[in-house]
Amino acid sequence: MSADARAWLDGTVLPAATAALPATDLGLRQGLGVFETLRVRSGRAAGAELHLARLEDGGHRLGIDVDRGAVLAGIAAVLDGAPDVDLLVRITVTAGDAAPDWPPVPAGRPRVLVTRGPAPALPAPAVDAVVVAGPRAPAGLGDVKTTSYAGSVLAQRRARARGAEVALLEDDGAVREAADGNVLALHGTTLTTPPADGRILAGVTRRLVLDLAPGLGLTVREADLARPDLDTADLVLVSSAVRRLRPVRRVDGTAVAAGDGAHPVVARLLAGLEDLATASEPLRAPRAR
């Protein structure tokens, strides 16, 4: 079986192109939904438990009861017979249908959609980045991975219009995150990343990198990154579950010292993330009772 796109929607496996939500779904109408994307090989994903926990927590914040059993069943279904290659598995849980009221109140069960498709190759190439005005999400939802992703999309469009692949979001005088990942800067042996204080979406890969760093002789510092901190860094990275680590080559046209990704920390962190993925428990459907 190939790595072609495949979907599972509330118990039914079908081609991803034909999986559709009804017009009454609150995820479609108001963006009331949460999602996670995992990079999976042989049924294993680095930080899978952290992804599932964040999905449940984000759902709770939006009033959505995430059924972990249904999520795991969907993952198992789309991975059934999958080739032994890296795949992207996206889990989307919406609030379902709404009662005729405002603000909308869910009237039925949440919907669970799980899709699979090919993953981009690793290691990810170095990228150019530009700083754009943030934040990525509305106040109070900065740390929730909602299906309302308009802020990220628009920031990425602005970056592409300026000839860059990545948008770094600046808010209140600090670079908080990328439109599609977290930002880390290395100065000597100190690895700094903005704090998970509710204003950023603290990624699972970010968490894993911070856990790996002390074993590589690095000191971890969670603190604001001002724009000049990126210019003086030995290395700037964007972390995400999809591409793991992307070295930043230039920020607003200014070269980063190890922008080609040749810094030894990059290879060692990537190796650590791969080890975590290989050692993780396989994602399995819950046993029938």
CA nearest neighbour of 4 among 116, 85, 86, 113: 116
CA nearest neighbour of 32 among 40, 42, 21, 44: 21
**Domains recognised in the chain with CATH numbers:** 6-118 (3.30.470.10), 127-276 (3.20.10.10)
Give the predicted TM-score (pTM) of the model.
0.94
% of the chain at pLDDT higher than 90? 84
pLDDT band of residue 1 (cuts 50, 70, 90) is: very low
Distance between CA 47 and CA 53 in Å, rounded? 10
What confidence score (pLDDT) does residue 288 get?
A: 63
| Cβ contact 249:256 at 8 Å | yes
3-state secondary structure of 214: helix
Residue 50 pLDDT > 90: yes
Beta strand 235-240 pairing with 182-187: antiparallel
CA nearest neighbour of 140 among 199, 192, 82: 199
Distance between CA 37 and CA 15 in Å, rounded? 18
Contacts of residue 165, defined as CB under 8 A and 6 or more positions apart, other chains included, come to 127, 128, 129, 159
pLDDT, tens digit, for every residue of 60-115?
Answer: 999 999 999 999 999 999 999 999 999 999 999 999 998 888 888 788 899 999 99
Distance between CA 178 and CA 169 in Å, rounded? 6
Instruction: State residue 107 phi and psi, 5-degree precision.
Output: -110, -5
pLDDT, tens digit, for every residue of 5-23?
Answer: 899 999 999 999 999 999 9
Half-sphere exposure (CA, 13 Å, Cβ side) for 121? 2
Whether omega before 103 lies within 30 degrees of 0, making that bond cis, reads yes
Unique residue bearing structure tokens 């598995």: 89
Go through 149-165 and write b for each residue having 16 or more CB atoms within 10 A of its CB, e for each that does not. bebbeebbeebeeeebb
For residue 78, the tally of other CB atoms under 10 A from its CB is 23
Can you read off the two tokens belonging to residue 235? 């290395």
| Cβ contact 140:128 at 8 Å | no
Contacts of residue 172, defined as CB under 8 A and 6 or more positions apart, other chains included, come to none
In one-letter notation, the amino acid at residue 77 is: A
User: What is the pLDDT averaged over residues 159-164?
Assistant: 97
Residue 2 pLDDT > 70: no
3-state secondary structure of 56: helix
Distance between CA 176 and CA 169 in Å, rounded? 6
